[in-house]
Structure 1
Amino acid sequence: MSDMIRASGLAKRYKEVEALRGIDLAVPEGKVLALLGPNGAGKTTTVRCITTLLKPDAGTAEVAGIDVVADPAGARAKIGLSGQYAAVDEHLTGYENLVMVGRLYHLGKARAQARARELLERFDLADAGDRPTKTYSGGMRRRLDLAGALVAEPPVLVLDEPTTGLDVRSRQQMWDVIRELVGSGATLLLTTQYLEEADKLADDIVVIDHGLAIAHGTADELKARTGGERIEVVLADAEDRDAAHRVLSEVAVDGVRVGDNGRELTAAVSGTATDDLLRVLQGFERETVTVLDVGLRRPTLDDVFLALTGHAAESDVDGSDDTDTTDDSEMEVAR
C-alpha cells in the first residue's frame, strides 16, 4: 500500500517562534491519519505546508507522489481541502457556490452544474441548494464547504478541524459524511482538537505539541501507554475530598486527579480493576465517604494527551490556533 501523503522533517519558523520543528507524517492510500493537538500545536501550519499554501523552511512533503514545493500545481490537482472555517460566498446559493468551484477546476459548464447537484444531494443540501448560503446553519455551511472540496473528485482530502464550532448533531452528521468518503476510497488527513473525533475516525494518530510529534499510534496503542482502567468518583460533598483522596491513593498507580469542583476524583489502577474498585468502596464505607457515582472506565485519549504533555488537549497557553496569520480564505487556492 503506497503512501498518498508523506512529510519528512517539516519545519517552519515565524520570527522567534518555531511553529514546526521537524514533523514526519505518512498516510497510506484509503486510510485516515488524525493530527491531534491543542490550539497552537502546529496543526494548521502542517496542513498549509502540505497543501502548498506555505513553503516549509526545511523538510519535504509529497501528495500522491508529487513534491508540493517542486510542483505545487500538480499537488493541488490531487487535493481537496476544507479549512477551519467554511469558505463559502454568503451571497451565492449553495448550488452557485459549487458551480463556481467546478468552473474554477475547468470542468465545463454542464459538468460543473451536474456535479453541483450531485453533491447537494449527497450532503443532504438539495432542498436548500437554491437558497443564499447566508441563510444556512453552521452545520450546513460546513457540509457545503466539504462538498466544495470534492467537486473535482480528488484522491486526497485534507480537513482542518472540520467540526470545530458545530453542535453535537451537526458533528455526528459530519462524522457520517467523513466515514462515507473514506469508505469510497479517499485518503484523509484530519486535524482536530477533539480526542473523541480522532478515536472514532482515524486509523492512525499523530499527537503534536509545540511543533513536535510527541506520540504516534492507533487509538488503542496510545491508550495502552497510560496504563489500565480508571476509577472515577463523584462525591456528594466536597468536604469528603481528603478522605476520598486517601482511599484512592491506596490503589492509584499514578496519583489521584481532583476536578476543579473538588467533588470529582479519578485514579488509574493496575492489576484487577474490579478488586481495586471493591477496595475503594470498602474504604469509603470505613471513612464514611458518601458518593453520588462511582465506576470503572478505560483510559481516553484525553488521558493520553495529559500524560504525554502535562496539560489538557482543549487549550494552549496563549489560546491561539497557530502562529501564522495567513487568511483562511487563501485555503480555497488548494481547490
Structure 2
Amino acid sequence: MEITQTTTATRNAPRATPQWAVDATDLHKGFGAVTAVDGVTLQVRPGEIVAFLGPNGAGKTTTIDMMLGLSQPDSGAVTVFGESPRAAIAHGLVSAVLQTGGLLKDITVRESLDLTASLFADTRPIAEVMQRAGISEIGDRLVGLCSGGQQQRLRFAMALLSDPGLLILDEPTTGMDVEGRRSFWNAIRADAARGRTVLFATHYLDEADEYADRIVLMSRGRIVADGTTAEIKNLVSGRIVHATLPGADPVAIAALPGVEDVETKGDRVAIHTKDSDAVARHLLTQTAARDLEITAQNLESVFLALTSEGDKS
C-alpha cells in the first residue's frame, strides 16, 4: 500500500512542539562511485510549505528517502519532529504521497481507504479525508477507472488518514493535466492552511512559485539556494526586457552592453540584461520595437542559472 506505517496510542499523548519539523544535518549518501547527496543541511519549521527543486539527479528523491527512513545516510543525521524518521512514522507524524504507489486497481476508492485505515490504530474519518482530497463523489469507482489526477488525490487522502504533522510529496502531479494539477493543489493548499507542514519536490516551477512559502534548490547533491521565492529570484542579477520586434537580429542585440542572453519566439524577443534601461532605450529609439515590458528574473531563469553554475563547479 501507499502508506505502510502504523500508529500507537502514544500518538495522541501530549508532547512538546519541537523547533523543527525536519532537522537534517550534513547528510551524505552514495551509491557506489556516485555521490547522490553531498553534505545537505536543512531545517523546516512546523507549518511551512517548502518546495524542493532541482534537475534530475540532483539528489532530491534520495534526500526525501532519508527523511522517510526508507534509506539510511552514510553520514549525518535527520530527525522529524525530534524523532528518528521511522519513529515519527510509527507515531503517525509523517505521511508521503510518492510519484508512484501501490494502488489496487480492482477495488473501489472507498475500499482502498478502508484497507489503508485498517493499518492504523487511530485515523481521521474516511468521509472527512475524502472530502478534503476532493474525491467524495467517486467513492464507489474502481481505482483502475480513475484518472491519473483522481488516483493522485486518492493517495493524498490515504496520506491524510493518520492526520500527520508533516506531509511529503514527491513529484505529486507528474502525468496530470493542467486542470488535474490545479485541483490537486487547491486541495493541498486548503489542507496546509490547517497548519500542516508540507515539503514537496516538483519539476513544475510554476507550482513552486505559486504554492511554496520557501524554495530549496538542489544541484549535484548539494543545496545551492534556500529562501523565499523573492529571495531566490534576487540571487540572479538583471532583468528581462520583452518586446515585439519583427525581424529581430539576435546577434546584434546580444552585442549590446549588459546583454547576457537573447531569446526569440516569433515576433517576440526576450533579452536578459544587467542594464534594462539601456536596452529599452536602444529598442525604442533605434528599432521598430513595440509592446515593451521590463520584468524581474522569473523562477525558471534563476533555476537554470543556479543549476548551471552547480554543473560548472
TMscore range, shorter length: 0.7 to 0.9
Paired residue for 2:87, among 73, 87, 95? 73
CA distance in 2, matches of 1:254, 1:179: 39
Mapping of residues 1-335 of structure 1, within 5 Å: 2-68=19-85, 72-76=86-90, 77-107=92-122, 115-233=125-243, 235-237=245-247, 240-242=248-250, 245-247=251-253, 249-251=255-257, 253-258=258-263, 265-270=269-274, 273=276, 276-285=279-288, 294-310=292-308
CA distance in 2, matches of 1:88, 1:99: 13
**Following TM superposition, by how much is the alpha carbon of 1:265 offset from its aligned partner in structure 2, in angstroms?**
4.1
Matched position secondary structure for 2:217: strand
Q: Deviations over 1:226-277 (max 9, x none)?
A: 123201345544xx434xx4245425x3512335x78764323346x46642
TM-score, length-scaled by structure 1: 0.80
What runs of 5+ residues in structure 1 fail to find an aligned partner? 286-290, 317-335
Matched position secondary structure for 1:41: coil
8 Å CA contact retained: 1:182, 1:188: yes
Which amino acid in the other structure matches residue 59 of structure 1?
A: G
Aligned residues between the structures: 293
CA distance in 1, matches of 2:53, 2:244: 29
Matched position secondary structure for 2:249: helix
8 Å CA contact retained: 2:99, 2:172: yes
Using CA pairs below 8 Å that are at least 6 residues apart, which structure has the higher relative contact order?
A: 1
**Following TM superposition, by how much is the alpha carbon of 1:311 offset from its aligned partner in structure 2, in angstroms?**
8.0
Q: 1:19 to 1:126 in 2, by over 3 A?
A: same
CA distance in 2, matches of 1:234, 1:97: 53
What runs of 5+ residues in structure 2 fail to find an aligned partner? 1-17
Cα RMSD over matched residues? Answer: 2.5
Matched position secondary structure for 2:153: helix
**Following TM superposition, by how much is the alpha carbon of 1:9 offset from its aligned partner in structure 2, in angstroms?**
1.1
**Following TM superposition, by how much is the alpha carbon of 1:95 offset from its aligned partner in structure 2, in angstroms?**
0.4
8 Å CA contact retained: 2:254, 2:262: no
**Following TM superposition, by how much is the alpha carbon of 1:32 offset from its aligned partner in structure 2, in angstroms?**
1.1
CA distance in 2, matches of 1:79, 1:47: 12
Q: 1:57 to 1:302 in 2, by over 3 A?
A: same
